[in-house]
Amino acid sequence: MNFYLLSVIKAAVVSGVLMLTLLYLQWVERKLLAHIQVRLGPYRVGPHGLLQPIADTIKLLTKEDLMPPGVNKFFFLLAPFLAISLSLISISVVPFGPEVQAGGVRTWMQLTDLNIGVIFILAISSLTVYGVVLAGWASNSKYPLLGALRSSAQMISYELPLGLAVAAPLLMSNTLSLRELVQTQEHFYWGFFPAWNLLRGPWPQVIGFIVFMIAVFAETNRVPFDLPEAESELVAGFHTEYSSMKFAGFFMAEYANMITVCSMGTILFLGGWLPPFPAGYGSKFIPAAAFAAGGLVSLYHGLYTRHLRDRWSLTAFAGIFFAIAVVFSVPLLQPYLLPLFWFCAKTGLLLFVFIWVRGTQPRFRYDQLMRFAWSFLFPVAMVNLLATGLLVALFG
């Protein structure tokens, strides 16, 4: 098949799925936060609020597009555009699964593979600060400017431990291509223990992974590092002056960034699309079993609930879950679906951590944030990198 045509198809699929994920990630977050706080969360629009994201989108699209006086129009418009486009670019090098064959076409479940994929993602993510900074500066207003200043300092500071934490697994895998990174984690110790970089000898990257997670929290401006948009101090930070679709752009950019960094964490540390134990031990039945269990739980709740609406919706969900479980147990489809499942499961786990932390942690003070980056995280990442290098050189 034509290379360009294939690329366009893949790009369409990936971006479509990504956009949908962005919309519903927000729903998932609201739901999870609500449950953490013992609330119900979105409930009214659609069954269990499932149509809430769409309603929000319509609301944002139709709101009045305010252009405050005194702003630098070009950069004011450029900023959200820059933010969303930069956060979407990175996903193009992320591999979701292995090479598959469908109808005479062999292709990778990946838009493109760069031999410098990791550096590419780092380079692009280092540019995301511009969206924030430009928004803050172009708004010509004091809170956005302060938010932008905080943001730029914070992102520059946390880029260093992030880079160092990323470099350590690279040393172990000896490649910069994301695809090859996953391939080097493919085998199992003693036949069942996964050789993911998180768990792999000679120096399991536990410290590296923790540093990476902390740094990406800061890079994506998420709690507890959401100083740039600290509402108690800076109203809404850099996007105070934004409204309607431009505001939505920043919002989507944040979630897209989260997805990107979680994918990257999955690939670097958690073995990408690889199962946690070999198929011979039954890992290929896990997805079907998981969905079936989910269906059973839904069905149970649907049958014994007090609300009439829930009785309908939960039973319907149970039906959908069972259907998915059936799809996953079809051997013909398993080569395509299993890698995708594992990749999404791991990324979803990391995303859950993001949301979990948001629901439970307080915000840092600004000076604490900077001191933490420079005098704790950076040295720890450095020592981890040195230890990795030494051990890889000795035993690798």
Partner 1 sequence: MDAIVFLIFAGVAVVCAINVVVRVHPISSALSLIGVMGSLAVIYLLLGAQFIAAAQVFVYAGAIMVLFIFVIMLLNTGAEERSRGAWMARLAGTPLLMALLGILSFVIFWAFPRRIGVHFGAFTGGTVENIGRAIFTTYLLPFEITSILVLIAIVGAVTLGYKELD
Task: Quote the CA–CA distance of 215 and 162 in Å, as a whole number.
Answer: 5
Using the CB atoms, write b or e for 296-324: b if 16+ within 10 Å.
Answer: eebbeebeeeeeeebeebbbebbeebbeb
Of 37 and 174, the one with the shorter C-beta distance to partner 1 is 174
Of 82 and 258, the one with the shorter C-beta distance to partner 1 is 82
* Tally of CB atoms within 10 A around 395: 9
Of 155 and 164, the one with the shorter C-beta distance to partner 1 is 155
| Shortest spacing between CB 89 and partner 1, in angstroms | 11
CA 243 to chain centre: 25
| Shortest spacing between CB 297 and partner 1, in angstroms | 45
| Shortest spacing between CB 255 and partner 1, in angstroms | 21
| Shortest spacing between CB 367 and partner 1, in angstroms | 13
| Shortest spacing between CB 303 and partner 1, in angstroms | 55
Of 152 and 266, the one with the shorter C-beta distance to partner 1 is 152
Of 100 and 180, the one with the shorter C-beta distance to partner 1 is 180
Of 147 and 287, the one with the shorter C-beta distance to partner 1 is 147
| Shortest spacing between CB 145 and partner 1, in angstroms | 7
Question: Is 296:213 a contact under the CB 8 Å cutoff?
Answer: no
| Shortest spacing between CB 133 and partner 1, in angstroms | 6
The token duo for 42 is 């979105």
Of 30 and 150, the one with the shorter C-beta distance to partner 1 is 150
Of 179 and 284, the one with the shorter C-beta distance to partner 1 is 179
| Shortest spacing between CB 122 and partner 1, in angstroms | 6
* Interacting residue ranges for partner 1, rule: CB under 8 A: 75, 114-116, 119-120, 122-124, 126-127, 129-130, 133-134, 136-137, 145, 148-149, 152-153, 155-156, 159, 176
| Shortest spacing between CB 156 and partner 1, in angstroms | 6
| Residues in contact with 131: Cβ distance below 8 Å, sequence separation at least 6, in sequence order | 79, 80, 82, 83, 84, 86, 250, 253
Of 143 and 273, the one with the shorter C-beta distance to partner 1 is 143
